[in-house]
């Protein structure tokens, strides 16, 4: 089973700043099957990025994904107040696994 | 619009079973699989398993093998997840989510809180 390790655990930033979230896999992941989700308190997760770099429908272009192999990144170019949330990466090989999450909090 | 609507919260005693439903609308149900994902209080997301709405094939997480059963009813576009021999650490919000063609998960149901307590 591929294990995903996200870092940092918590990111403390101010609105307007850039956020860079990392997701590292224990084995090579197909870029086609790497996704990112946003979850706010009391809500279900929402798909942000699929195929490592494609934005899901309705996702603002301040969200971008990149990476390949074992290292993937989610970047939020300028944080808006509604972006403070927990972010999860997810991969599929023979089953789905999730990273443990990165919390982006207001500094 | 594509939507998944789950059944309401449940409170169960240890050793009991729970069955959560997930009714799909806005798309052809049999064209996509359904995943079940759970989230214990304050914790991350845990994948539980997948079911094909086309033919009922399943793939369960190893740690839940023998305790979980996922089924679908194509006549009502509804997916079900049954978990047996409940323990306190099964207390969680259970989500259903549609599996897209690139195996990302979208959309998600609103979640069903299952509380296991004596």
pLDDT in tens, B5-46: 999 999 999 999 999 999 999 999 999 999 999 999 999 999
Q: pLDDT tier at B55 (50, 70, 90 boundaries)?
A: very high
Residue B44 and residue A99: Cβ atoms within 8 Å? yes
Q: pLDDT tier at A70 (50, 70, 90 boundaries)?
A: very high
pLDDT number for residue B102 = 87
Dihedral pair phi/psi, residue B35, rounded to 5°: -105, 155
Residue B44 and residue A97: Cβ atoms within 8 Å? no
Q: What is the mean pLDDT of residues A60-84?
A: 97
pLDDT number for residue B101 = 81
Whole-number Å distance between alpha carbons of A74 and A23: 8
Contacts of B47 in chain A (CB under 8 A): 95-98
Residue A50 and residue B102: Cβ atoms within 8 Å? yes
Q: Look at residue B106 and tell me whether its pLDDT is greater than 90.
A: yes
User: DSSP letter at B8?
Assistant: P
Largest CA distance in chain B: 42
The CA distance from A25 to the nearest CA of chain B, in Å, is 16
Q: Residue A8, preceding bond cis, omega within 30 degrees?
A: yes
pLDDT number for residue A94 = 85
Whole-number Å distance between alpha carbons of A97 and B71: 21
Judge whether B35 is closer than 8 Å to chain A, CB to CB: yes
């Amino acid at each position: 089973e591929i294990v995903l390790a996200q870092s940092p655990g918590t990111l403390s930033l101010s609105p307007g700043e850039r956020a860079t979230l990392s997701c590292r896999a224990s084995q090579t992941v197909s870029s086609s099957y790497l996704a990112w989700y946003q979850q706010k308190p009391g809500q279900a997760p929402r798909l942000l990025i699929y195929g490592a770099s494609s934005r899901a429908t309705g996702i603002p272009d301040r969200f971008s994904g990149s990476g390949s192999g074992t290292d993937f990144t989610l970047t939020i170019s300028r944080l808006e107040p509604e972006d403070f949330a927990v972010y999860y990466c997810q991969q599929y090989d023979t089953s789905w696994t999730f990273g443990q999450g990165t919390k982006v909090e207001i500094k | 619009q594509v939507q998944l609507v789950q059944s309401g919260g449940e409170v169960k005693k240890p050793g009991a079973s729970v069955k959560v439903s997930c009714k799909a609308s806005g798309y052809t149900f049999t064209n996509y699989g359904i995943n079940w994902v759970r989230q214990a209080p304050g914790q991350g997301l845990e994948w539980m398993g997948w079911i094909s709405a086309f033919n009922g094939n399943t793939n369960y997480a190893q740690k839940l093998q023998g305790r979980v059963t996922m089924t679908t009813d194509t006549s009502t576009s509804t997916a079900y997840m049954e978990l047996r021999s409940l323990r306190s650490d099964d207390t969680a919000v259970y989500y259903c989510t549609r599996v897209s063609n690139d195996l990302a998960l979208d959309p998600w149901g609103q979640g069903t809180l299952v509380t296991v307590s004596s």
